[in-house]
Structure 1
Amino acid sequence: MTVLMRPKPLDGFKVREFKMLIDGKWTAGAEGKAIERASPGHGAVVSRYEAATAIDANRAIASARKAFDDGHWPRMTGAERSRILLRAADIIDARADELAFLDCIESGKPISQAKGELGGAADIWRYAAALARDLHGESYNTLGDGTLGVVLREAIGVVSIITPWNFPFLIVSQKLPFALAAGCTAVVKPSELTSGSTLVLGEILEAAGVPQGVVNIIVGTGPEAGAPLTSHPDIDMVSFTGSTGIGKLTMANAAQTLKKVSLELGGKNPQIVFPDANLDDFVDAAVFGAYFNAGECCNAGSRLIVHRDVADEVTSRVAALSAKVKVGDPLDPSTQVGAIITPQHLAKIVGYVKGASENGARVAVGGSAADLGLGQFMEPTILSSVAPDMAVAKEEVFGPVLSVLAFETTDEAIRIANSIDYGLSAGVWSRDFDTCLTVGRRVRAGTVWMNTFMDGASELPFGGYRQSGIGRELGRHAVEDYTETKTLNMHIGPRTGHWMPKEARG
């Protein structure tokens, strides 16, 4: 049986009120509407935001445009921008408990996990600060005595940053500090379900010294506030994280003005297990990979592709450990799996499990929603006897549901791993490193972990193949993504090789 921990009511909790940040001012929306967010783990309203429309989006874009075209930020030295980003990181650390609490109650993620994410986010801001000082172009003095070539890297301009609900503070931190390090200005739209910590980030950036208009933050739905950020002619680049479906729409909108796009989208990530793997390590990683953030994670290890010789043992051991996972109150420090983001999403997850069961899959553990009196929760679930063509094996469930598939040969394992539309990440488990490297090079995914899963570092690029997205975040080239290259071709001395003869030139 899953360990269930009933949430405690939020007695005496005061709803937090937020305004939007446009041109350095905390302001109401043009139409005076509000968005209320109810905590998925407690059922009570915890946040209230000003609801942005296209009018507010256009105001924010105009502010960012003016700050880029006429303001000081793009013209600062890298060292000056770096110092401000480092101050922001220090303030993030100082307000980490507040930010983690907001992410916890708005998204339903466990408070211990939210605090860990804040530490990772602060590290990313510091890494971006270092890159601000290292951004540079190239020079070519090998083009002949009369020519010097210089290639500049210039900030691309105004960037719209659209972030999802599953990692509210961490994902904006994978984008915004690199855009700022390059000298860009930005309009940020977090998910309307989890906007609190991003709005607090606006306060942090003000305190750190980011000039007014450089970062604008609005809250609203995709059709109302998000769409203008993907199509407006004054936006130079769109950085979007979310579902593959909305990513395609974002790309189509951006194509109207040929904007640069960076897309981090869905995943259906395999962990491939060979008979010689260290199963003690793997079983723990499988449970972590499947249920971290309640499976609401593009990197979730939602497919176990297990060699047939150990498939029964692996399924049994993962099921036994899954039954010990603690599910419940996101504010309890011992909780490992928190709440599901909305009732509608919970129903979708349950529907995937029901459909798989009706088509021959076996529920080895879990399989149902968990009624804890408050909020919405899902039992950690394992489905065995899953066929590669089942929807649950191909589509992103985005919940704590693990599918187990069997293979007999390495080629078959790789074929199953690559048989879907996604290519975000994968894991390979074997004591034979030749096996790990062979599989790692043939699996089409942006990240392949070997004998571990879902580790990360600010220095390592993150992104996917195929319908998992376009471009990479993090890593030493992350700042370059927010730049354009410009060639300066300089001629020294009198021009040679005239096209017209001298007598024609007079």
Structure 2
Amino acid sequence: MLIDGTWTASSTLRTQDVINPADGAVVSTIPVASVEDLDRALAAASRGAAVWKATTPWERSAVLRRTARILAERHEDIARVLTTEQGKTLAEARLEVGAAIDQFDWYADEAKRIYGRSVGSAQADLRLLVVREPVGAVAAFTPWNFPALLPARKLAPALAAGCSIILKPAEEAPSAALELARALTDAGLPDGVLGVVLGDPAQISAHLLSSPVIKKLSLTGSVQVGRHLMKAAADNITNVSMELGGHAPVLVFADADPIAAARMCAIGKFRNAGQVCVAPTRFYVHDSIAEAFIAEFIAVAAALRVGPGLDEGSQVGPLTSERRLVAVEELVADAVAHGATVAVGGARIPELPGSFYSPTVLLDVPDDAAIMQTEPFGPVAPISTFSSFGEAIERANSTPYGLAGYLFTNDLTTATRASEELEVGMVGVNSFSVSLAQVPFSGVNLSGIGAENGTEALDSYLHSKTIALGIGPRA
């Protein structure tokens, strides 16, 4: 762990294994933080917040820029360890590390653009100023599915704003986050500004959020965890921002090219074995083009090569754990029990030793099947049909989630109306590229509070202070 600028084991010497999901082998061990370790991290973050707040935006920018360059030099090594721990293909890991680098590069610029303002006063002897200041020490929690990008989304804007931060990455795949921290320290980040702790999520979150040192919570996780941590944050009235997952609908309208749309949808669906919070997860296709769309989607899914992420040619890696494998099996079984048909896949891959599940397409899936209401987080694509615009929108908005939504159409009116009527934070029109450093990544309803990426993320680590400055009369 990283505490007060020092790489350290747990004070109790407790450790936990990190497992390669492709073969079940132990790849490393990590320390399990004790209460003593967490208290040291909190004390360091308190000191670090004062130091970093007093550091000029240009100096903060320089550290972030150097971090981006260091990470670029270590790109391949980080991608390989990411694949080994998390399972995704090496090609996907390389793209993820590149996206993490983009975060530091983007916020290196934004650190210099934290603007206040002067406000006109009704009194001749009063000047009104509004300045932006960092909120203070941040506690950040990230999951295992994007172990480089998701920590970077929190580290880069928090540090650009002048906050200190204690990061708790996922114990299933921690090494990429540790490499981000190593790059930051090598880039000259002062001791105490960043801490990275590992171990029991419940113990760590409870202890950090009970401390008055922590002024903000940033979480990427499940709705269940979000509810729990929001309650914990309430005791100290701690500011929160949360990205809590989604269940993204895809609407394929009658004027879309069914073959091109099917290919894009299949590739988007099975990226990272479906373990993506903005993954397309519910496919609604117009009756008139459904047959062509489904045939092409099935062909693409059936041709995908499943295997260990480090193997040359693998296109879909394993699920991250046996627990995820069981959850996906249960969702498929429930869909079949509700009348769905398995068109391709639908089972584990017994000849592979890890947590592999075959890319699966389900047809005629009724809306009351669990997979249409619960984020599947696996390589399963349920496809249904619709006959009217109103029906498509109603069914797309039928879950309590609202992170991303997608649509395929060549008609500007349809694209505009559907984009406006989808109850989500992000819409992709003929595209799945909604997660970029320069635009907000946010959801509505149960999908979260606040935003990551873009200037909106920087805002969440700042508060506005009014200064009313009385001045004397003219000489």
TM over 0.5: yes
Aligned residues with identical type, % of pairs: 37
Trace 1:101-112 onto structure 2 (pairs within 5 A).
Answer: 101-112=80-91
Q: Which residue of 1 aligns with 2:59?
A: 80
Contact persistence 2:282–2:381 (CA under 8 A): yes
Q: CA deviation at 1:204?
A: 1.0
> Does 2:239 correspond to 1:254?
no
Q: Which residue of 2 aligns with 1:303?
A: 282
SS for the counterpart of 1:174 is helix
Bigger Rg, which one: 1
Q: Which residue of 2 aligns with 1:231?
A: 210
> Does 2:208 correspond to 1:202?
no
- What amino acid sits opposite 1:415 in the alignment? E
> Does 2:5 correspond to 1:24?
yes
How many angstroms apart in 2 are the aligned matches of 1:206 and 1:448? 37
SS for the counterpart of 2:64 is helix
Q: CA deviation at 1:142?
A: 4.2
> Does 2:271 correspond to 1:283?
no
SS for the counterpart of 1:63 is helix
SS for the counterpart of 1:239 is strand
Q: Deviations over 1:169-225 (max 9, x none)?
A: 011111111100011001000001011111122221111000001000011121122
How many angstroms apart in 1 are the aligned matches of 2:122 and 2:164? 36
- What amino acid sits opposite 2:253 in the alignment? F
- What amino acid sits opposite 1:358 in the alignment? A
Q: Deviations over 1:146-169 (max 9, x none)?
A: 221101100000001111000000
> Does 2:28 correspond to 1:60?
no
How many angstroms apart in 1 are the aligned matches of 2:149 and 2:319? 18
Q: Which residue of 1 aligns with 2:437?
A: 458
> Does 2:412 correspond to 1:433?
yes
How has the CA–CA distance of structure 1 residues 387 and 468 changed in structure 2, closer, same or farther, with 3 Å as cutoff? Answer: same
Contact persistence 1:112–1:333 (CA under 8 A): no
Contact persistence 1:323–1:365 (CA under 8 A): yes
- What amino acid sits opposite 1:475 in the alignment? G
TM-score by length of 2: 0.97
Q: CA deviation at 1:78?
A: 0.8
How many angstroms apart in 1 are the aligned matches of 2:321 and 2:342? 23
- What amino acid sits opposite 1:175 in the alignment? K
> Does 2:6 correspond to 1:36?
no
Among 120, 139, 142, the alignment partner of 1:163 is: 142
Q: Which residue of 1 aligns with 2:421?
A: 442
How many angstroms apart in 2 are the aligned matches of 1:303 and 1:279? 16
Contact persistence 2:205–2:229 (CA under 8 A): no
Instruction: Specify every segment of 5 or more residues in structure 1 that has no aligned partner in the other structure, as ranges.
Output: 1-19, 495-506
How many angstroms apart in 2 are the aligned matches of 1:162 and 1:375? 27
Instruction: Specify every segment of 5 or more residues in structure 2 that has no aligned partner in the other structure, as ranges.
Output: none
Trace 1:90-489 onto structure 2 (pairs within 5 A).
Answer: 90-489=69-468
How many angstroms apart in 1 are the aligned matches of 2:267 and 2:446? 24
Contact persistence 1:289–1:302 (CA under 8 A): no
- What amino acid sits opposite 2:281 in the alignment? S
Q: Deviations over 1:98-149 (max 9, x none)?
A: 1111110101110111011111111111100000000111111343322211
- What amino acid sits opposite 1:402 in the alignment? A
Q: Which residue of 2 aligns with 1:15?
A: none
Contact persistence 1:141–1:147 (CA under 8 A): no
Work out the number of aligned pairs and report it: 473
How has the CA–CA distance of structure 1 residues 373 and 279 changed in structure 2, closer, same or farther, with 3 Å as cutoff? Answer: closer
Q: Deviations over 1:335-393 (max 9, x none)?
A: 11101111121011011101110110111111001123321101011111111121110
- What amino acid sits opposite 1:67 in the alignment? G
Q: CA deviation at 1:244?
A: 1.1
SS for the counterpart of 2:214 is coil
Which segment drifts farther, 445-454 or 141-150? 141-150
How many angstroms apart in 1 are the aligned matches of 2:469 and 2:120? 10
Contact persistence 1:39–1:105 (CA under 8 A): yes
